[in-house]
Structure 1
Amino acid sequence: MAEYKESDVIEEEKNCKLTYYFRDLLKERINFQISEEETVDIIDAVETLVSNIITYVTSKVDWLPFSRLLKVGSMAESTSIVFPDEFDYLAIHKQKGMQIERVCKQDRGYAHIKVTDPDLKKKWFKWLRGDYLQAFFTTNGFADMFPGDFDTLGNALMYEVAQISQSVSDVGVLPKRTGLMRIGKRVQKNGPAFTQHFLWEPYNLQKSKTTIKVDITPAIEFDLNDDIINENDTFHTDILNKTVEHGKFMLVLTHDHGPSCPLCFRLTFTETEVNLVCCLDTHHNDCYKLLKYIFNSGGSVNFLSSYVLKTLVLKHGYHCEETANLAVCFKQLVAVCLHYLFNRTTGEKIEKYFKQNVVE
């Protein structure tokens, strides 16, 4: 028993030293390495310019009736690391003249959108298959020949934003206290989203210019009903309760590697997700940042996506009472990640693995 206590003390000392190391790492490398004033300027400039772009598109193109812009992802959750150079937004269309159908029962995370409004059918006829909106379209190599016939609604929005980015001059420049934000000319496809590039130019000439990547995803918002989500779809009742309390969900375009059905839009509960992460205590928020820094900052290869790491930390947090010793939680979380990387079967989906195997 005495030997066990001694080893336990040694382990505790190791964890204490590792926690101090993590605290220094967060301070010196992981948390934003610029002043609070410059951080606020970058965030404000991005939000202003993105809002201006979407407002302009909506006012000029009557078939893109987006009602609001929602900031999501790490910037909304306060989990962004190193530098505020990646932003995520949903351009939301409030459900009107559409209804949702859960036709593909084998894919619970997806649904079809039936357009019922005659005027909307006329505006969106290019992206309809019968009465249903297409989530993606396989071009089989002919997209360059007939780009208008092989579009999705999301690609059409990307095209309109790109046109504005090419034509703006003074409107695309926003001066702030610490620097200048410019709308870049580059817009690229990125799964269900598209990425608009901005350029941040600090007034301090000793600092480098930085490319800011802004992902914008078109989303259609619906009221929640009993068929959309139940207890079997979540790993904790609190998540279900928060989703039901919010009362909304959204459908977004499907990844190219998603379901084979071209009508399947992916269900997302992004606003609830942001709220869940914001409710994490500082301890587990720091664990999430550490995981992102170690697993996803080694270059172009991301072993595990930020979304997977986020899900892992959320599930861990519901069953963890540790609030001070970062090393204890971090080692548990890394053990799960490494177990997955070395033991997954070929083609196994990451989300399914973590749902079944994450340690609690």
Structure 2
Amino acid sequence: MKALRIHAHGGPEVLRWEDVDRPTPGPGQVLVRVLAASINHLDVWVRRGMPGFPVPFPRVLGCDGTGEVVEVGAGVTAWSPGRKVVLEPGYVGSRTDPEEAAEARVGGFDHLLADYEIRGEHSDGFDAQYVVLDERYLCPLPDGLDPIQAAAVPLAFLTAWGMVERAEVQPQESVLVIGGASGVGSAAIQIARHMGAYVIATAGSEAKRELCAELGADEVLDHGDANWPKQVKAVTEGAGCDVVIEHVGPATWTGSMRSLARLGRLVTCGGTTGPEVSITLPHLFIKNQSVLGSTMGPASALPTILDRVARGIYRPVLDRALPMSEAADAHRLLEDRAVAGKIVLVPDAD
């Protein structure tokens, strides 16, 4: 079989679609033939290298995807060959007691455990023809849902779900989604809108702004226009937004903070334009604002998300699908911000 691996950090040229040994499922595990795996900014960061985060080489990339069960290990009864599944991006490491991990999963706080980890970052991911994983990290693919479309769902929608939940968004509140045409942004627009929020989105091109409107944003602004924070204030009659969904970082941070209302909550899951930002403290404490961090979302939300996708309530935005052997092109497109939604990789045939 083949897998997409890196043997060193660097540009897209370090990606290798190469021969590896096909895994065998052990007790409680399932062998899955990968049908599709999406590209996320996390893949780019792992490929480039993140300060203070050593990556053992070689590393198989890929945080989420879909597949078909091929073989099950001893003790597995919930899955059988031929069943199409969604591959969960997150899992709980070995430092957590199994009973505690199971309780956290049911309770919806598994992503908050100290040793919560993500495929393709902390361990090998899904950019391969076959993968093995514990049976609890599979989710049924709803009937009629295309595996390539569904591969664009897990990490982006769980991350957006977690951010909306962390900010405690309420119906009728105003929610500003920065970078609304991205995977996380496009998901956040739909989740907040479905909750009854008034959604304002930003995007950097006319086509991306049209997409945000199609997804349900009530107002869409150009974050390439230096006056966009003033436009947010105008739209909200000078109040600013109750919640800001921020994942771009330095390029939009100042504007995001200026757009935040009194008692407002800004929630961030990272920064695609860099790791460091500044905060003007008087503005923060005088207005009683909150800046919140959010990592992923609970695995328990994934069945609900997939059901809503299958029923047409949520729509994963697929920019394009490419063969895994062309992953370098996919990485370049993402780095050049030439992507609306997600790029999905499909394993090449043998």
Please classify the TM superposition score into its range, dividing by the shorter chain length. Answer: under 0.3
Relative contact order higher in (CA < 8 Å, ≥ 6 apart) = 2
Bigger Rg over Cα: 1
TM-score by length of 2: 0.26
TM-score by length of 1: 0.26
